[in-house]
Each structure stands twice: as structure tokens, then as C-alpha cells.
Chain A
Amino acid sequence: MVGTKKGAFILTSDAKREVWDVAGPHFAGWEMYHLKGSPVDPNRIYASQSSGWFGQLIQRSDDGGKTWNPVDNQFVYDGETGTHQWYDGTPYPREFKRVWHLEPSLTDTDTVSAGVEDAALFRSTDGGKSWHELSGLRRHGTSNLWQPGAGGMGLHTIVLDPGNPDRIYIAISAAGAFRSDDAGETWILIKKGLRSQYIPNPEAEVGHCVHRIALHPARPDVLYMQKHWDVMRTNDRGDLWYEVSGNLPTDFGFVIDGHAHEPETIYVVPIKSDSEHFPIDGQLKVYRSKTGGNHWEALTNGLPQENCFVNVLRDAMCVDQCTPCGVYFGMTGGQVYASSDSGDNWTAMVRDLPAVLSVEVQTIP
């Protein structure tokens, strides 16, 4: 499932993952920030549909994406909305803008969480027919200091712990990463070990621009983070992070994800810098570590090694559950690449879509 700036596309293949059928665009002309299927019922898919003209919609499919129906699109902050910090340091009223990320429950088809801009976490327990805010996050003592990143102050990452239904991780640009151990009632900043040279105090409480967090279900206490700069790891649910950028040629980037069957195998796509959002020297390289970080190998077979000057956004990488594991990512130039052998070889599933905002995969028996 590929969300783009001008619609959604559903790419389908058999277990060989060699030939892909491309269906779409669904919701042509709309920004499709994210589509994700329920792990409980793959026919249930939630999609975030957005437009600068017409605002936010949430679409739901109950037949694997063949047909869609809009559900509730009313995201109202709970109580006083308060302020966050504007770019000039002044307080700025919070206002709902759009849904960046949808995270269906691991156990209930009708329960889905939504990460929104301005940063807040919402949840529906009726299949999207109504939404309520988990306002404990926005009531965190630091929330008036949260500041938008270049793309807005979005809550873009929601990670559910498969071993503990009460544990949730979220990340906000550019506030940082948070953990709840009580199903979203209260939250703690998980920032110890993070250093960000681009903010006045590199070890500040808030302001770390976390781009993405990944967790492996077999080892849920271990998290990986692609920060603005730095690839980080924690072995204790975020209590302490340490850097695992190792031999990466640049540790700036947006995506990070883990192999479906190997908890120590992770993938990133290094991007040259925060001002040059494209691969170094125009050579697209996925980097894989089989040691949980620090030791990285470049994967290039099938990827363009010249004149590639497009980006990979934070929600645009995923892995399937097949053996060998499939890895997928999409680019702002409209290309979606797939590897059906854990990253050793790559092919372009499709090349000329609108700019890709998100890529998710379902492995259907």
C-alpha cells in the first residue's frame, strides 16, 4: 500500500514477489499520508486522506482496499488546546491540521490510533466512526516547548509493544520520543543518551528531531531510532539510547526498519544531509546491519548508482513476513523498490508514481 501526494496505490504480488500489479490511484488528487491494514484482519485497512483545500478525511476499507468508505474525520483536542513553541520562540495556539500516521491495534480490528499535527494522539475503538484524544500526551509538562520541524509538528510514529498492550512509543517532530506504560494515560520522555548538535543544548529535554523508531516483535525491549542525524539503539525501552551509526557514510536519514525474522538485522537509507535530501553522490544505497548497528553493509544491487537525487520519507519503508524477508521503500521521485531476499537484490516495482509519502505491506496467507 503506497500513499503518495496525489493518491493511493495498491501493489499486489504472489509469494515470489517478482511481478507486481499496480492498482490505483485511489482518492486521486488527494494527499494520502498513510494507509495501514489491521494485523487482525488484513481486509480492514485505514487510510489518511488529506487536502489543503478540503482538510482531513479518514477512509476505511473492509475488503482489502477494493472499496472504501469515509468514516469520522472530527479530531477535536480534549479540553484546552494550549500552545506550542513557534519558530521564533513565542507561544503558538495548537490547531489540528492532518493525520500523519495510523496504527491499527495488534488485537482488535476496530481499534486504531492516529498521530496528528499539531502533535497529539487520537484513538478510535469503533472502526473510525469516532475519535477521542489520549490527552495525557499533550498534557505532558514539556508540551508548551514542543516546536515544529521543517515539515510541521506532526506525531508521525506510533509503535505498539506486542508483549505489553499497555506500552506505546510515539515520536514527534521536533519534540522527541515518548513512552507510555499505561496505555496512553501518562507519558515519559525517552531522551537519555540522545545528543543533537543542531539545538542550543545538545542534551536538552525536548527538541530532538526523531525521524523514526522501529521495534522487533521478538525483542520488544530493543528499539532502533533514525534521528535527524544519528542512528540510535536502546536495549531497555528507551531508558538509555546509544549511537550505532558506526561506519555509515552519513547518519542522516528518515527511515529505519528491522528484518521480519532477525531481530539484530536493521535497514536504513542514508541521506546526504539535512540540507541536501538525497543520497550521497546520487547513488542510492540501502545499508543493512546484521549486528544491531555499528557494522553496516551497503546494498546496491538493482538500485540506481548515478543521478539519483530524491529522498525517502519516514513512513516509506516496511518489511513483509515472508521467507526470505521482503523489504520495500518508496521515494519522493515516485519510485517504489522491493527486495525479496532481505535486501541483497532490488527491483523497482513501479517508477513514476507521485511523490511517495508512505509504504506499508501486508503478507496474506
Chain B
Amino acid sequence: MILVEMPAHLRQLAKVTGTIHLDVVGLATQTSVLDALEARYPMLRGTIRDHVTKRRRPFIRFFACEEDLSHNSPEDPLPDAVAEGREPFWIVGAIAGGLRDDIPVPYGSSPARDKSRLHAARPSSNARPDR
């Protein structure tokens, strides 16, 4: 049994509350957990990772056991505590700022873009999963 925590927006979209309990077949990895999550909640497809490439969306982060796993290979085994259901796998919305492609701007009303202002998403040591 894998425990998954999601941001409020995704919980509302999936019409769930609290921690999600997932049965994951085989090795617990980011890929296998997300496959199981999307199989149960198809409306989440495309919101956490790209439909086709399966790459994590830029402003989504994965945490577990107080570590940022976002840049690990999606096929790496998750920590034992996650695989054994003692710690949750956190899907977190990054704290992000600045003006860049991924930040929507009201069309027709934004200032001209200045590439010097394009900031990368901040890997959020400060990100606080909202419960």
C-alpha cells in the first residue's frame, strides 16, 4: 500500500479528501505510483506529468521522507518507508515566481516579454503541502 498526498486543487479535481491509498503492483517507483494514481483517477492525466512524454510538469515536485525526489529517475525505487506505506509520496505544487512560459499571463494585457526575466521554477524547500 502506497500513501499519496496531493495539492488541494488536484484533490478537488479527483473528488477525494485526505491521503490516497494506492495498491501498486511491483516495484514502487515514481512511474508505477503515478500510473496507479492516473488509472484510478483518469482526470489527473496531464496535470502531474505530460500525457505523452510522461515528464513531470515544471512546477510539480515530488517529495518523500523529507527529500526532494523530483530530479531522480522516474524508474528509481522510492524509499523503503514509502514502499512500505510508512511515509507518503508527496506531489507538491512548487513555489514559483517570475514571468515565463509556464506562468499564464492575461492575454493581451501583459507587458512585452523580456527574456531576462525568465526565471526557473524554484525547487521548493519551502513548499508546504496544503492539507
Name B8's closest neighbour in chain A (CB-CB): A29
Q: Which of A54, A76, A173, A277 contacts B51 (CB 8 A)?
A: A76
Q: Does A50 contact B (CB under 8 A)?
A: yes
**Interface size bucket, B side?**
20 to 34
Q: Is B26 part of the binding interface, using a Cβ–Cβ cutoff of 8 Å?
A: no
Q: Judging by beta carbons under 8 Å apart, are A52 and B59 in contact?
A: yes
A residues near B10, Cβ cutoff 8 Å:
54
- Cα distance A148–B52 in the bound complex, in angstroms: 24
* Pair A314/B60 contact, Cβ less than 8 Å: no
B109 touches A151 (CB 8 A): yes
- Set of chain A residues within 8 Å of B112, measured between Cβ atoms: 150
A357 at the interface (CB under 8 A from B): yes
| Chain B residue at minimum C-beta to C-beta distance from A355 | B106
* Bound Cα distance from A87 to B60, whole angstroms: 27
B57 interface residue (CB < 8 Å to A): yes
Interface of B is mostly: loop
Q: A53 is contacted by which of B9, B110, B115 (Cβ under 8 Å)?
A: B9
Find out whether the CB atom of B115 lies under 8 angstroms from the CB atom of A152.
no
A139, chain B: closest CB distance, angstroms: 20
Contact between A313 and B108, CB atoms less than 8 A apart? yes
Q: Is the pair A151, B60 in contact by a Cβ cutoff of 8 Å?
A: no
Q: Is B13 on the interface with A (CB-CB < 8 A)?
A: yes
Q: Are B108 and A149 in contact (CB under 8 A)?
A: yes
The closest CB in chain B to the CB of A315 belongs to B107
Within 8 A of A (CB), among B48-103: 48, 51-52, 57, 59-60, 93-94, 96, 101-103
- Give A35 to B101 CA distance when docked, in angstroms: 23
B105:A152 contact, CB within 8 angstroms: yes
Q: Counting CB contacts under 8 A, is A191 at the interface? A: no
Closest Cβ of chain B to A29, distance in Å, is 6
- Measured in the bound complex, the distance between the Cα atoms of B45 and A277 in whole Å is 37
Cα(A316)–Cα(B78), bound, Å: 47
Is the Cβ of A53 less than 8 Å from the Cβ of B106?
no
With a CB–CB cut-off of 8 A, which chain B residues contact A152?
A: 101, 105, 107
A100/B9 contact (C-beta < 8 A), A52-B96, A56-B46, A87-B113 known: no
0 or 1 for each of A19-41: is its CB under 8 Å from B? (1 = yes): 00000000001110000000000
Question: Knowing A150-B110, A150-B112 touch, does A53 contact B46 (C-beta < 8 A)?
Answer: no
Cβ contact within 8 Å between A51 and B9? yes
Q: Provided the pairs A30-B9, A100-B107, A150-B113 are in contact, do residues A54 and B48 lie with their beta carbons within 8 angstroms?
A: yes
CB pair A277–B9 under 8 Å, yes or no, is no
A154-B107 in contact given A52-B96, A54-B10, A97-B101 (Cβ < 8 Å): yes
Q: Which of these, A54, A73, A148, contacts B57 with CB under 8 Å?
A: A54
Q: In whole angstroms, what is the CA distance A51 to B13 when docked? A: 12
Closest to A69 in B: B43
Interface status of B47 (Cβ within 8 A of chain A):
yes
Interface membership of A339, Cβ < 8 A: no
A residues 304-339 with Cβ under 8 Å of B? 311, 313-314, 332
Chain A: minimal CB distance from B12 (Å): 8
B47/A54 in contact, CB under 8 A: yes
State whether A314 touches B107 (Cβ < 8 A).
yes
With known contacts A55-B46, A313-B106, A74–B51 Cβ distance under 8 A: yes
* A259 sits at the interface (CB 8 A): no
Residues of the A chain whose Cβ atoms lie less than 8 Å from the Cβ of B46: 55-57, 73-74
Within 8 A of B (CB), among A83-105: 87-88, 95, 97-98, 100
Question: Which 8 A/B pairs are nearest by Cβ-Cβ distance?
Answer: A151-B107, A54-B47, A70-B43, A53-B59, A53-B93, A52-B103, A74-B51, A73-B46
Query: Would you give 25 A-B contacts (Cβ < 8 Å), ordered by A?
Result: A29-B9, A30-B9, A50-B104, A53-B7, A53-B60, A54-B10, A54-B13, A54-B60, A55-B46, A57-B47, A73-B45, A74-B46, A76-B51, A88-B115, A95-B101, A149-B108, A150-B105, A150-B108, A150-B111, A151-B110, A152-B101, A311-B108, A311-B109, A313-B106, A332-B106
A211-B108, A313-B109 known; 6 new pairs, CB 8 Å cut-off, are A53-B93, A54-B48, A57-B43, A150-B112, A313-B107, A357-B106
